[in-house]
Amino acid sequence: MVKVYKPGKVALLLQGRQAGKKVVVIKQLDEGTKERPYPHAIVAGIERYPRKVTRRMGQKKVAHRSKVKPFIKVVNYSHLFPTRYALELEGLKGSVAADTFKEPTQREDAKKTIKKLLEDRYTAGKNRWFFTPLRVRLASRIPPCDAVLTNYLQF
């Protein structure tokens, strides 16, 4: 079987509170563990994406709007959708381990380091596509009886 979820691989979450969010795989466990006997991965993602910034905004406002709220999670492979993209993980690998989820303080420390890394990456302008929310297609919101609008949008 081909290993799809390697560290650094970007995926989408399909289930749960963060469904539709982009995540990056930090560690994959293809065989599972004693506690979780199914293939799963430790992922880090963005719960709250940075907001739009314009040239007219001051430094304080830009800094406030550039904040990121991260999350870390253990996810079953069946709830992940792989993409063709990947991120370089210089500091993410060491910040999260399997025992990070045992203590809440360790989890919070890991989130802080991930937040710092992601915000640095965002301000440097690297991987801009990772910091934008997933777009939802408009076609699913159009009522089927509205033929004029459907033809106009050419769906």
Residue-wise pLDDT for 38-76, tens only, equals 888 889 999 998 988 899 999 999 999 989 999 999 999
Model pLDDT, residue 96: 75
Q: Which residues of the chain are under the pLDDT cut of 50?
A: 155
The helix/strand/coil state of 26 is strand
Q: Which DSSP letter does residue 41 get?
A: E
Model pLDDT, residue 24: 93
Model pLDDT, residue 30: 76
The tokens describing 78, both together, are: 């069946």
Model pLDDT, residue 75: 92
Domain ranges of the chain: 9-153
First to last CA, the chain: 37
Q: What does CATH list as the number for 9-153?
A: 2.30.30.770
**Cα-trace Rg, the chain:** 18
Q: Which pTM does this prediction carry?
A: 0.77
Model pLDDT, residue 69: 93
